[in-house]
């Protein structure tokens, strides 16, 4: 069991050199914290941004997504290429030593799920993954992507534009089935064909073998490269037995405090209690890694702020900006807003007459206005909601 002192923090250690880790340090300094901060990150690179890896970097428009060149001006001890391995009383153990702390922030993110098999499979999680994969994308090369989720779709977009022969194999009946549900996810299937991508739905993969994919049912898909994009898991294995409670990630309360006093969690690894949704939630959203650290930093300094967002995610795929806010699980009604055959459209999910989630395709204004409606919990008029000529801010029930 780990214990931390209750006095004012003088030595804070942050584990994980991604967006959430860096933002925690930034927020601490912005709030005037002048004590020692150590940032321990397993990757050799200073903190960088992940969303462009599957977008502008993969498209060749960018080679580096480092978040800030002046990271040392934050006055931190930056321990790159160092992996945390466990916790003792007030001490973080790593593969290179130990770090004493009186407060600790867990921001270790998530790691991709691999498929069984002897063949080579790539992932798209790190900048090194992205640069190595991009170097392989050549006109005519056969790229097999497993998973038609957000990352699979974005990679397919970039690879097809670079002239690769792209096949996406998806076990579910539609793309984005887990994220958006089959009905709405299915409306994106045509985007693949229009981009020249071969999308194979309802096709599970048994294993990755040298030269391609062994498909469930006995089929074979040849590929010069295989990229597995079937999801991620919170990077929390090293915390097993540490006394920090885990529950599909680091279990945290609404103030992002873990079960151990003085230890907080933020970003992809944190499964926090949502007062809004009355359950524990873990998001793999950039917006969460960006904003939750402000709450952690405030609470590290003794405040009792609550993190309770309407979650927001975006994706850029097949020439479209796709944005989603809210949570549609539990909705009792779904309405289309506009015609999915048109360039701009959306979907609205309602529960008890209130907007609870929104998908906006190439409609950023809808996203902004819809997110505010969701936050406010105002009852809405379904007819106005479904009419794209009515601004969403005017869709409240009268
Ligand atoms: C290719 C890609 C595209 C994306 N696109 C979008 C998008 O369009 N929109 C969106 O909303 N979100 C997107 N995301 C998700 C978003 O980038 C993540 O939600 C965000 O990066 C999470 O930040 P994080 O700091 O919590 O975790 P991470 O960015 O994963 O950082 C965690 C860091 O901790 C390190 N670490 C792990 N274990 C240890 C350990 N034991 N010791 C030390 N260090 C450790 C890891 O190596 C990693 O560097 C995308 C993600 C990827 C990979």
Q: Residue 287, SS3?
A: helix
Strands (E), 16-129: 36-41, 77-80, 84-88, 91-94, 97-100, 103-106, 110-112
Q: In what order do the strands lie in the sheet with 279-281?
A: 250-252, 270-274, 279-281
| Entry pTM | 0.97
Q: How far is the CA of 111 from the centre of ligand 1 (A)?
A: 8
Classify residue 224 by its DSSP letter: S
The position carrying tokens 């391995």 is: 85
Pair 350, 384: CB distance under 8 Å: no
Ligand 1 and 124: CB distance under 6 A = yes
The position carrying tokens 């007030």 is: 90
- In sequence order, which ranges of the chain are alpha helices (DSSP H)? 19-30, 127-136, 150-161, 177-180, 182-185, 189-194, 286-300, 364-376, 382-386
The minimum-distance atom of ligand 1 relative to the CA of 232 is 53
The minimum-distance atom of ligand 1 relative to the CA of 130 is 1
CB burial of residue 237 (10 Å; 0-12, 13-18, 19+):
exposed
pLDDT value, residue 263: 98
* DSSP assignment of 308-345: ----EEEEEETTEEEEEEE--TT-SEEEEES-TTSSSE
Q: How far is the CA of 136 from the centre of ligand 1 (A)?
A: 23
CA-to-CA distance for 110 and 231, rounded, in angstroms?
9
pLDDT per residue as tens digits for the range 1-43? 444 555 678 999 999 999 999 999 999 999 999 999 999 999 9
Query: And the tokens for 166?
Result: 């792209």
Q: Average pLDDT per run of 10 along the chain, which is 398 residues long? A: 62 98 98 97 98 98 95 96 96 98 98 98 98 98 98 98 98 97 97 98 98 98 98 98 97 98 98 97 98 98 97 98 96 97 97 97 98 95 96 92
Ligand 1 and 20: CB distance under 6 A = yes
The minimum-distance atom of ligand 1 relative to the CA of 85 is 41
The minimum-distance atom of ligand 1 relative to the CA of 266 is 26
Q: How far is the CA of 110 from the centre of ligand 1 (A)?
A: 6
Nearest protein CA to atom 18 of ligand 1, as residue: 286
pLDDT value, residue 6: 55
Query: And the tokens for 187?
Result: 């409306």
Q: How far is the CA of 89 from the centre of ligand 1 (A)?
A: 27
Q: How far is the CA of 9 from the centre of ligand 1 (A)?
A: 27
| Substitution candidate for ligand 1 out of 13, 14, 15, 16 with most atoms within 8 A of CB | 16
Q: How far is the CA of 18 from the centre of ligand 1 (A)?
A: 6
Handedness of CA 275, 277, 282, 284 (dihedral sign): negative
pLDDT value, residue 397: 87
pLDDT per residue as tens digits for the range 142-184? 999 999 999 999 999 999 999 999 999 999 999 999 999 999 9
Q: How far is the CA of 71 from the centre of ligand 1 (A)?
A: 18
Ligand 1 and 106: CB distance under 6 A = no
The H-or-E segment that residue 172 falls in is none
Residue 45 contacts by C-beta under 8 Å, 6 or more apart in sequence?
17, 66, 80, 127, 128
Q: How far is the CA of 124 from the centre of ligand 1 (A)?
A: 11
Query: Which of these, 247, 323, 236, lies nearest to 287 by C-alpha position?
Result: 323
pLDDT value, residue 8: 79
Nearest protein CA to atom 28 of ligand 1, as residue: 109
Q: Residue 134, SS3?
A: helix
Q: How many residues does the chain have?
A: 398
Ligand 1 and 78: CB distance under 6 A = no
């Amino acid at each position: 069991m780990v214990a931390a002192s209750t006095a004012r923090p003088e030595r804070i250690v942050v584990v994980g050199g991604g967006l959430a880790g860096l933002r925690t340090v930034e927020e601490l300094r912005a709030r005037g914290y002048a004590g020692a901060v150590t940032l321990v990150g397993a990757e050799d690179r200073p903190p960088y941004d992940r969303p462009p890896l599957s977008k502008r970097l993969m498209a060749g428009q960018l080679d580096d997504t480092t978040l800030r060149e002046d990271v040392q001006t934050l006055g931190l001890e930056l321990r790159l290429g160092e992996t945390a391995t466990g916790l003792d009383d007030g001490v973080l153990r790593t593969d290179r030593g130990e770090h004493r702390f009186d407060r600790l922030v867990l921001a270790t993110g998530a790691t991709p799920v691999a498929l069984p098999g002897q063949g080579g499979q790539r992932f798209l999680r790190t900048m090194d993954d992205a640069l190595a994969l991009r170097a392989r994308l050549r006109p005519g090369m056969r790229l097999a992507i497993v998973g038609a989720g957000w990352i699979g779709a974005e990679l397919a977009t970039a690879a097809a534009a670079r002239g690769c022969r792209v096949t996406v194999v998806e076990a579910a009946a539609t793309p984005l089935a887990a994220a958006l549900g089959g009905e709405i996810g299915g409306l994106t299937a045509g985007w693949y064909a229009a981009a020249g991508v071969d999308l194979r739905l309802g096709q599970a993969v048994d294993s990755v073998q040298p030269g391609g994919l062994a498909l469930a049912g006995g089929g074979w898909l040849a590929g010069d490269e295989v990229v597995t994009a079937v999801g991620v898991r919170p990077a929390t294995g090293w915390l097993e037995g540490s006394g920090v409670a885990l529950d599909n990630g680091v279990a945290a309360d609404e103030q992002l405090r873990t079960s151990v006093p003085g230890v907080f969690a933020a970003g992809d690894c944190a499964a926090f209690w949502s007062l809004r949704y009355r359950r524990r939630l873990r998001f793999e959203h950039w917006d969460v890694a960006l904003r939750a650290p402000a709450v952690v930093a405030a609470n590290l300094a003794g405040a009792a702020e609550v993190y309770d967002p309407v979650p927001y995610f975006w994706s850029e795929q097949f020439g479209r900006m796709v944005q989603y806010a809210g949570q549609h699980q539990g909705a009792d009604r779904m309405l289309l807003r506009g015609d999915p055959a048109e360039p701009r459209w959306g979907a609205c999910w309602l529960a008890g007459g209130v907007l609870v989630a929104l998908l906006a395709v190439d409609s950023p204004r809808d996203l902004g206005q819809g997110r505010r409606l969701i936050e406010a919990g105002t009852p809405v008029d379904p007819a106005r909601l479904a009419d794209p000529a009515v601004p969403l801010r005017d869709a409240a029930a009268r």
